[in-house]
């Protein structure tokens, strides 16, 4: 189902759960992707969950993103925070529109999508039960941490990633743990690209932490 909701919402795809389940995966693409990019990935890591996949609204040289950046790895923090809150509002509206369980939404983000998912977790923790962050960086350093007790995060990073500095995944993991989230950090023998092991690890993590 391809749809756009009124006002300032997002072009998106919604695929209902294939069986009875409370879980919805919020699929967040990387730079240059769109609302279809991660549908197969979402189904691969969880065969029955509902899939909600918005398209980023910011364009960089014609390529969709979820927030502006000033240079590679340098984020426009004001825009990042605005867009993360806008995306959180979209999720709240979508869960009502599609009659989803708002308590069981897990973000699955790649690269730019992972960074906005991390920002959403820090800014609007009530919207997400957890997050799978594939090739994520620290989105920003909050003045104070929210309480993420009861939230779970998987960070999956590439040992040879030329885009994400090597200290970033560990720093992000420490930040979430300091906020009392349950954090799993996985290192893959890969660069910025995703591998089959990323999908297998995400599937196993979801099986342990999310409702079937």
Q: For 144-183, how does the pLDDT look when each residue is reduced to its tens digit (9 = 90+)? A: 999 999 999 999 999 999 999 999 999 999 999 999 999 9
Q: For 173-210, how does the pLDDT look when each residue is reduced to its tens digit (9 = 90+)? A: 999 999 999 999 999 999 999 999 999 999 999 998 86
Q: Cα-Cα-Cα-Cα dihedral of 206, 207, 210, 212, to 10°?
A: 130
Binned at pLDDT 50, 70 and 90, residue 6 comes out as: very low
Q: Can you tell me the distance from the alpha carbon of 87 to that of 120, in angstroms, rounded to the nearest whole number?
A: 8
Q: Is 111 a catalytic residue?
A: yes
- Domain range summary for the chain, segments of one domain joined by +: 2-206
The contacts of residue 89 (CB under 8 Å, 6+ apart) are none
DSSP state of 140: -
Q: Report which secondary-structure segment, H or E, holds 106.
A: strand 105-110
Q: Which of 76, 79, 89, 192 is catalytic?
A: 192
Q: Is 192 a catalytic residue?
A: yes
Q: Can you tell me the distance from the alpha carbon of 125 to that of 109, in angstroms, rounded to the nearest whole number?
A: 16
Q: Is 161 a catalytic residue?
A: yes
Collapsing DSSP to helix, strand or coil, 79 comes out as helix
**For the domain 2-206, what is the CATH code?**
3.40.50.1820
Q: Which of 111, 152, 156, 157 is catalytic?
A: 111
How are the residues of the chain apportioned to helix, strand and coil, as percentages rounded to the nearest 5?
A: 30, 25, 45
Q: Is 51 in contact with 29 (CB distance < 8 Å)?
A: no
Exposure of 106 in the CB half-sphere (CA atoms within 13 A)? 30
Q: Which of 37, 161, 198, 201 is catalytic?
A: 161
């Amino acid at each position: 189902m391809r749809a756009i909701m009124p006002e300032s919402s997002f072009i998106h795809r919604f695929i209902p759960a294939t069986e009875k389940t409370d879980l919805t995966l919020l699929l967040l693409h990387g730079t240059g992707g769109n609302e279809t990019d991660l549908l197969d990935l979402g189904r691969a890591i969880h065969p029955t969950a509902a899939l909600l996949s918005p398209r980023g609204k910011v364009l960089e040289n014609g390529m969709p993103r979820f927030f502006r950046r000033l240079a590679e790895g340098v984020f426009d923090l004001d825009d990042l925070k605005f867009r993360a809150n806008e995306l959180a509002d979209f999720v709240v509206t979508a869960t009502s529109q599609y009659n989803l369980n708002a308590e069981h939404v897990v973000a699955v983000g790649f690269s730019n999508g992972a960074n906005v998912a991390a920002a959403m977790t820090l800014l609007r923790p009530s919207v997400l039960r957890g997050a799978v962050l594939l090739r994520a960086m620290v989105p920003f350093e909050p003045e104070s941490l929210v309480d993420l007790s009861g939230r779970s995060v998987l960070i999956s990073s590439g040992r040879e990633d030329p885009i994400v500095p090597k200290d970033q995944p560990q720093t992000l993991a420490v930040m979430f743990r300091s906020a009392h989230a349950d954090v799993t950090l996985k290192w893959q023998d890969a660069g910025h690209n995703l591998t089959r092991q990323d999908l297998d690890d995400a599937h196993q993590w979801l099986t342990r932490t999310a409702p079937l």
